[in-house]
Structure 1
Amino acid sequence: MRDTCVPSGVKLQDTGFGYTLSLIGGKYKMIILYWLSENTVMRFNELQRSIGTISFKTLSIMLKELESDGLILRTEFPQVPPKVEYSLTERGLSLIPVLHMMCDWGEKNMPVPERIQREA
């Protein structure tokens, strides 16, 4: 077992922990990765409907960042109207166990009243 993810005297962004946070940090990136892991392939409007609270512009920015980081694949089909699909790359798929661990942690540590409301 390791002593620390961020050793003393090392900048957070220079660590593996900091790098991971830079890829999945923010309000929507983990949610986008989650939906793509659940649905394999999704179109822009499907993602936007699934997330619900994200604007067109924000989703566009998040998808471009995730694509440039090599976590998602954007496939454009040459047809009218244009069709674009998004899916996880192998690199993106490798993050899914991390998201599952976060989910498990949340389920175990969520305050009891909230847990009861969700189960009802």
Structure 2
Amino acid sequence: MQVALIFHESAEDLSARSDPARAGAYWGAWKAYVGALTEAGVVRGGNALLGPETGAVLRHRGGADQVLDGPYAETKEQLGGFLAIEVADMPAALAWAARCPCAATGAVEVRPILPMQS
């Protein structure tokens, strides 16, 4: 089964990405995690995302586009990235999610990927 691991990181964790005092530990933990997933042969794709201040949300309502520049909401966690993995079942996906660096301070959403119809 293919699942998406969607990483919700705390604002403090996201700020560690560019903080010289914390970036090494932050990226080191992610490199080890993704390395373990890759070594297990389960990674199918994914990426880290830039901070919410760089994005936008578009809604098409009443024939018009409504664009809201980020950040969009005051939240304790922000979407930091995602990986698509292929594992045997949901318990296996949850086991990988539990090993994620952001699981301790944020959250990892685990969602089955809808197979595309041809």
Report which structure shows greater RCO (CA 8 Å, sep ≥6): 2
Name the structure with the higher helix share. Answer: 1
TM-score by length of 1: 0.27
Name the structure with the higher strand share. Answer: 2
